[in-house]
Amino acid sequence: MSRFFRPFPERTRVARAVAASGGGGEEMGTIGDYAGLSLATYDIYTVDLFEQDYPTFTTNGGSVSYNAAYGIDGRPGVRCFPPTTSEGYGALGGWQLFNAGGSNNFTNFYLRWCMQIRADYAVNNDFDAVKYCIIHSENAGTGGADPIRPIMYVDSRISGIGPTGGMFMCPAQGTNRYFSESHPTSTFFDGDGRGDFYFGQSATTYAGKRVIAPTDWVCVEVYCESASTGSWPNGLIRQRITARDGTVLSDLDSTMGWQHDPSAPFTKYFYEVQVLGGYYNGATGTAGADNCTAIDRYVTFAKNQTDFLGPPTGFLT
């Protein structure tokens, strides 16, 4: 039985390692441009940003910039720059999961990307829990009506706890970001009230937790189940973040149900990644070459998976 459909024991905070992936393995699925993306056709599809065919969502001064050397080890990638006024976007966005045809007929969805948080990002913005990734689901066949949206968000340190210029990342449900520090499923928050690891200004530790430098990359994997199943009667929203040395920095949240937001009903069907790179409710960013996040060339979309796929080809060292 896959570990993804096995009940999880009490989580410990011991770093785990995953095996290095081979070249172009099954964890990549079919690789192509955005024009070919359809989860009606493929169970795993990886968009290669090298093709420079990807949707963007930019307003209020936000922008996305492609460069052949912005990615891991000098390979292609993009940088996402926050808006300079509030309630704006600076992201890849509007990824239609059936861009090449088909319809939404699945209740589990997997998304993977590799990213950096660059040096000036946390220190030059007025953050209000940035909705870094927004996934949309809907009633079957309704064409986007009444979307329910799992969200992965980033925020600066809370109440002075965390490294200066540091940030954390965690999952939530719904536009109001239902994720309470005191909620019993909130294993993101540990005994000191804060996260498993931080993005920061240098490679170090803080309160015993690893701090990822602005030049370092992490792999983010997200898995959502929007129906009640035998394995997950409350559905599931789960996030795993892995460093390049194979250390699993964070594995959230084995017990966060789809209905963590009380307004999120069963059953929903996935149709869009609205945002990958950030919606900023309260950001007043300062423009600068290093005030951004970076996304590596491969962004993977999948359905009907029973486990995390692991980091993509070329990520692990």
Inform me whether the pLDDT recorded for 24 exceeds 70. Answer: no
Distances (CA, A) of 224 to 56, 102, 143, 287: 23, 20, 20, 34
Residue 57 contacts residue 91 (beta carbons within 8 Å): yes
Kindly state the average pLDDT of the residues 139-147: 63
Nearest of 203, 205, 199 to residue 294 by alpha carbon: 199
238 in Cβ contact with 253 (< 8 Å): yes
Cis bond before residue 267 (omega within 30° of 0)? yes
In this structure, the number of other CB atoms found within 10 A of the CB of residue 305 comes to: 16
The yes-or-no verdict on residue 27 having pLDDT over 70 is yes
pLDDT (mean) for 219-247: 91
Whether 265 maps to a domain, the answer reads: yes
Q: Which of 49-58, 163-172, 222-231, 235-244 has the highest mean pLDDT?
A: 49-58
The residues, any chain, with a CB within 8 Å of residue 143's CB and separated by 6 or more, are none
Whether residue 191 is contained in a domain is answered as yes
Residue 262 lies in a domain: yes
Q: What is the C-alpha separation between 36 and 43, in angstroms, rounded? A: 13
Mean pLDDT lowest among 27-31, 51-55, 156-160, 171-175: 156-160
Question: Does residue 175 lie within any of the structural domains?
Answer: yes
Residue 317: exposure state from Cβ atoms within 10 A (0-12, 13-18, ≥19): exposed
Residue 316 has pLDDT above 90, yes or no: yes
Report how far residue 260's alpha carbon sits from residue 247's, in angstroms, rounded to the nearest whole number: 28
Does residue 164 belong to any structural domain of this protein? yes
- In this predicted structure, what is the pLDDT of residue 107? 92
In this structure, of 104-118, 184-198, 279-293, the range with the lowest mean pLDDT score is 184-198
pLDDT the model gives residue 147: 73
Indicate whether 222 pLDDT > 90.
Answer: yes
- Which tens digits make up the pLDDT trace of 148-206? 888 888 877 655 667 888 888 888 887 766 654 444 434 444 334 456 788 999 999 98
What was the pLDDT predicted at 256? 77
Residue 243 covered by a domain: yes
Q: What is the pLDDT of residues 57-101, one digit of tens each?
A: 999 999 999 999 999 999 999 999 999 888 999 999 999 999 999
What's the Cα-to-Cα distance from 161 to each of 139, 165, 194, 198, rounded to whole Å? 40, 11, 7, 11
Q: What's the gap between Cα 311 and its chain centre?
A: 13
Q: Which residues touch 253 (CB under 8 Å, ≥6 apart)?
A: 171, 185, 186, 187, 188, 237, 238, 239
Q: Report the chain's mean pLDDT, rounded to a whole number.
A: 81
* pLDDT for the residue 30: 95
pLDDT of residue 250: 86
pLDDT for res 174: 76
- Note the pLDDT of residue 231: 81
Quote the CA–CA distance of 280 and 62 in Å, as a whole number: 10
Domain harbouring 93, CATH code:
2.60.120
User: Is 307 a member of any domain?
Assistant: no
Check whether 19 has a pLDDT greater than 50. no
Yes or no: say if 211 and 160 are a contact pair by the CB < 8 Å rule.
no
Confidence of residue 103 (pLDDT cuts 50, 70, 90): confident
d(CA 215, CA 39): 33
pLDDT at 237 over 50: yes
Residue 151 lies in domain: 53-295
**Is 4 part of any domain?**
no
Taking the C-alpha atoms of 257, 157, 66 and 131 in order, what is their torsion angle to the nearest 10 degrees?
A: 40
In this prediction, residues 299-305 reach a mean pLDDT of 95
Greater pLDDT, 221 or 147: 221
Distance CA 89, CA 40 (A): 28
In total, the chain counts a number of residues equal to: 317
Which pLDDT does position 139 carry in this prediction? 81
* Tally of domains within the chain: 1
Question: Considering the entire predicted model, what is its pTM?
Answer: 0.88
